[in-house]
Amino acid sequence: MKGIYFDHAATTPTRPEVVQAMLPYYQEKWGNPSSLHSSGQEAGEGMQEARRQVADLLGAYPEEIVFTGSGTEADNQALIGTSIALEKKGRHIITSAIEHHAVLHTAEFLERHGLEVTTIPVDSTGLVDPDDVRAAITDESILVSIMHANNEIGTIQPIKEIGAICREREVVFHTDAVQTVGHVPVDVRAMNIDLLSLSAHKFYGPKGAGALFVRKGVRIAPLIHGGGHERGRRSSTENVPGIVGLGEACRLAGEEMEWEIEHTTGLRDRLIEGMLAKVPDSMLTGHPTQRLPNNASFCVRYIEGESMLLNLDFEHIYGSSGSACTSGSLEASHVLLAIGLPHDVAHGSLRLSVGRGNTAEEVDRFLEVFPAIVERLRAMSPISAGRPASEFEGGHDLHGHEETHE
Ligand SMILES: *Cc1c(COP(=O)(O)O)cnc(C)c1O
């Protein structure tokens, strides 16, 4: 792919080292790890090493790692699997207003099936107040699920404090760490985490490989039944190459994390400073300091996200927007509404997420072309300065764009 890729929160390129590590498990060591013969055993050994590599990155034991087909699956198993395992204990779960759809829609599914769900609000920077979590816990509560960092606005939650409250109240604590694992330090023991979801393709691993950390002693039911793989927690013949790739991505991330944080933070701050200086009526969304090192997310007044993305795409610059356009009706991001932005502002969101391969020159190229794009769009916008937001609804003709799912 040529162009400037600022969409690492959606997915990342697979590192060549990761592809190299995976190849033997397609070409030579393609056995079924459940087979007793040596062909199966060498596949099993690759998986064992991967399990250690994932566990090492999290400060976990290898037996606590359950491989899944994605971050979404890990989230589903955390919520549904806990609800089933603890159905005799209680029927109440607690989550936040800014969760990824993999948690949000799963909680809604459980609500339709009779569970009670409490949704904790966030402040204008996207932070959950741990005291709100404490206040929401009742005798019926079985699970608290609060994401580590938000995929749209980058805000990092006080996970350790929330985990300590859950521990004290004996409620299982799950965190969706898909945006943080491999990017910032995560230690499941220091952070009081019981269940944690991660996904390889968000940190330079392959797509279709994820994991759920399940702390020793925490009960969870399987979603997928069959031959009893993954200690009965997730049946299916294992995606051995994907799992080996996930392990290698974890190993590399652990080794190079310090460098990557410094590199992406520099680019992120260059983007933020440049944007706020060069684009009038733009604002940073999310927390000013407690945020992902690679996330620069904004709202740009009087224009909407999709047109910014299309115009950037003409310049071969790839970003993302929280706004979702399905069947012609624009729906503002639930995250941006939850931090208190009005609909018209939320529609003007632009998320730039940088990665290992980006350079300062690429950031400067963006800052060179973007102000002119904004000016042009504002000149032809039905909601340019001073116009009421209501004229905005229906005043666009962008169709056929899929919702962003990352
Ligand atoms: C990408 C993402 C997911 C989903 O992970 P997949 O492996 O793509 O299914 C879940 N939660 C968050 C926060 C994400 O960013």
Interval 225-234: pLDDT, tens: 999 999 999 9
What would the two tokens of residue 365 be?
A: 């190229």
Q: Give Cα separations from 275 to 43, 179, 269, 380 (angstroms).
A: 49, 23, 10, 21
- Expressed in angstroms and rounded, the spacing between residue 389 Cα and the centre of ligand 1 is 32
Identify the three-state secondary structure at position 178: coil
CATH for 16-254 (3.40.50.1970, 3.40.50.11540, 3.10.20.740, 3.40.640.10): 3.40.640.10
For residue 386, pLDDT over 70 is answered with no
What is the share, in percent, of the chain residues with pLDDT greater than 90? Answer: 90
Judge if the beta carbon of residue 205 lies within 6 A of ligand 1. Answer: no
- Expressed in angstroms and rounded, the spacing between residue 313 Cα and the centre of ligand 1 is 23
Q: What is the pLDDT of residue 381?
A: 73
For residue 256, pLDDT over 80 is answered with yes
Give the N- to C-terminal CA distance of the chain in Å, as an integer.
Answer: 19
Q: How many helices and strands (H and E) does the chain possess? A: 14, 14
325 is catalytic: yes
Q: What is the pLDDT of residue 274?
A: 98
* Sequence ranges of the domains in the chain: 16-254, 257-384
Per residue in 101-157, pLDDT (tens digit) is 999 999 999 999 999 999 999 999 999 999 999 999 999 999 999 999 999 999 999
d(CA 187, CA 193) in angstroms, rounded, equals 8
Per residue in 291-338, pLDDT (tens digit) is 999 999 999 999 999 999 999 999 999 999 975 554 445 689 999 999
Judge if the beta carbon of residue 77 lies within 6 A of ligand 1. Answer: no
Which protein residue has the closest C-alpha to ligand 1 atom 5?
A: 71
d(CA 212, CA 176) in angstroms, rounded, equals 9
For 212, phi then psi, to 5°, come to: -120, 120
Bigger pLDDT: 69 vs 393: 69
Neighbours of 157 (CB within 10 A): 24
For residue 187, pLDDT over 60 is answered with yes
Would you tell me the crossing angle of helices 360-379 and 240-278 to the nearest 10 degrees? 60
Neighbours of 211 (CB within 10 A): 32
For residue 238, pLDDT over 90 is answered with yes
Q: What is the pLDDT of residue 392?
A: 39
Which protein residue has the closest C-alpha to ligand 1 atom 2?
A: 406
Q: Give Cα separations from 328 to 49, 320, 397, 401, 404 (angstroms).
A: 48, 18, 7, 9, 15
Q: Chain-wide mean pLDDT for the chain?
A: 93
What is the share, in percent, of the chain residues with pLDDT greater than 70? Answer: 92
Bigger pLDDT: 389 vs 58: 58
Best residue among 67, 96, 151, 195 to mutate for probing ligand 1, ranked by most atoms within 8 Å of CB: 151
- Expressed in angstroms and rounded, the spacing between residue 335 Cα and the centre of ligand 1 is 15
- Expressed in angstroms and rounded, the spacing between residue 386 Cα and the centre of ligand 1 is 38
Q: What is the CATH number of domain 257-384?
A: 3.90.1150.10
pTM exceeds cut of 0.85: yes
Q: What is the pLDDT of residue 201?
A: 98
Confirm if 12 and 181 have CB atoms less than 8 A apart: no
Q: In ligand 1, which atom is closest to the CA atom of 149? A: 13
Strand 141-145 with 92-96, pairing: parallel
Q: What is the pLDDT of residue 299?
A: 97
Instruction: Name the nearest CA neighbour of 176 among 126, 220, 141, 213.
Output: 213
Judge if the beta carbon of residue 70 lies within 6 A of ligand 1. Answer: yes
Best residue among 198, 202, 246, 291 to mutate for probing ligand 1, ranked by most atoms within 8 Å of CB: 202
Tell me the average pLDDT across 71-75: 98
Judge if the beta carbon of residue 202 lies within 6 A of ligand 1. Answer: yes
- Expressed in angstroms and rounded, the spacing between residue 346 Cα and the centre of ligand 1 is 21
Q: How confident is the model at residue 165 (pLDDT cuts 50, 70, 90)?
A: very high
Tell me the average pLDDT across 332-345: 96
Q: What is the pLDDT of residue 331?
A: 81
What would the two tokens of residue 289 be?
A: 């300091």
Name every residue whose Cβ is closer than 8 Å to that of residue 121 and which is 6 or more positions away in sequence: 96, 97, 132, 338
Buried-exposed string 83-108: b where 16+ CB fall within 10 A, e elsewhere: bebbeebbbbbbbbbbbbbbbbebbe
Judge if the beta carbon of residue 181 lies within 6 A of ligand 1. Answer: no
Per residue in 93-113, pLDDT (tens digit) is 999 999 999 999 999 999 999
Confirm if 188 and 57 have CB atoms less than 8 A apart: no
